Amino acid sequence: MKRIESIQNSLVKHWKKLVLTRKERDKSKEFLVEGFHLVEEALKSENAVLSLIVREGVELPDNWNTENVQMVEINQAVAKEIAETEQSQGVFAYCRQPEYDEEMYSSWTKLLLIDSVQDPGNVGTMIRTADAAGMDAVILGQGTADPYNPKTVRAAQGSNFNIPVVRGDLVQWVQNLKAEGVRVIGTGLTNASNYTDVEIDSKFTIIVGNEGSGVSPDLLALADNVVKIPLYGKAESLNVAVATGILLYTYAEK
């Protein structure tokens, strides 16, 4: 087992940058996950883990399959340097970001498109909910939080390893999906139907938008339907992740 004791180690510096900066994550196509649950989910995903990083004195569960995984032991100082949480459990996975090619895209017929949602917690929650609802993929548009931001990964609770998450041009995605016969449902308030009044078949896409401004007008103009969730109390709006959950579970069973 490899052991690292210095925070000046080049690999430690790289891990820290993966935690702190999107630029490093984008350049390397790697990310770091922290904590027993997320590391366990990473280990279940084939070829996702580059190294399993364990603080000295931390015992790993007996049921973890680490046979073909590089193990790195670190001391307390290094663990503190790369930890994103205040009460770190002392176990990390150094991971490669999954990649998906266009050949896979044509098999996706249930998609969630996220337009400029900036809060990592909301984006992570929506990835997790899309996974739970049985969606095929999540597509993130420009201005949306990084799916590999530690806060996004933590909110997704391991779903980054279960469901494809792709970044792209949402207008192009919508045009391509409509050409393939996939129904596109936008979310908004203007000229919108109640979400329960729209008939959905087995192929559909839901577009949700920015916490303040909603889905961009260019995208809504391409939607086959625009839907809204009625508000029965005094709240002005629903949290975007909550609204997404309502829509996904309403439509996913169709």
Write out pLDDT tens, residues 101-142.
989 998 999 999 999 999 999 999 999 999 999 999 999 999
71 and 134 share one domain:
no
- pLDDT at residue 136, rounded to an integer: 97
Residues 227 and 111 in one domain: yes
Q: What percent of the chain lies above the pLDDT cut of 90?
A: 95
Asked if residue 119 and residue 91 are part of one domain, the reply reads no
Residue partners of 182: CB distance under 8 A and separation at least 6: 109, 111, 203, 204, 205
Do the Cβ atoms of 16 and 82 come closer than 8 Å? yes
Q: Are 79 and 132 part of one and the same domain?
A: no
Last residue of a domain, one of 30, 65, 96: 96
Average pLDDT rounded to a whole number, residues 204-210: 97
| The predicted structure's pLDDT at residue 253 | 77
**Percent of all residues in the chain with a pLDDT value above 70, rounded to a whole number:** 100
Q: Look up tokens 């095929």; give the residue.
A: 136
Q: What's the CATH code of the domain at 122?
A: 3.40.1280.10
What's the chain's average pLDDT? 96
Same domain, 31 and 61: yes
The strand pair at 2-4 and 70-74 is best described as parallel
Mean pLDDT calculated for residue range 40-64: 97
> Domain with 36 in it: what CATH number?
3.30.1330.30
For residues 124 and 217, state if they share a domain: yes
Q: How many domains does one find in the chain?
A: 2
Provide the domain limits for residue 21.
2-96
Whether residue 37 is found in the same domain as residue 150: no
Q: In what order do the strands lie in the sheet with 193-194?
A: 165-167, 137-140, 110-115, 204-209, 183-187, 225-228, 193-194
pLDDT at position 99, please?
Answer: 93
User: Strand 91-96 to strand 30-34: parallel, antiparallel, or no bridges (unpaired)?
Assistant: antiparallel
**Residues 42 and 143 placed together within one structural domain of the fold:** no
Q: How confident is the model at residue 254 (pLDDT cuts 50, 70, 90)?
A: low
pLDDT tens profile 182-202: 999 999 999 999 999 999 989
**One domain, residues 87 and 115:** no
The residues that bridge with 186 in the sheet, in sequence order, are 207, 226
| Same-domain pairing of 139 and 216 | yes
Q: What is the pLDDT of residues 72-90, one digit of tens each?
A: 999 999 999 999 999 999 9
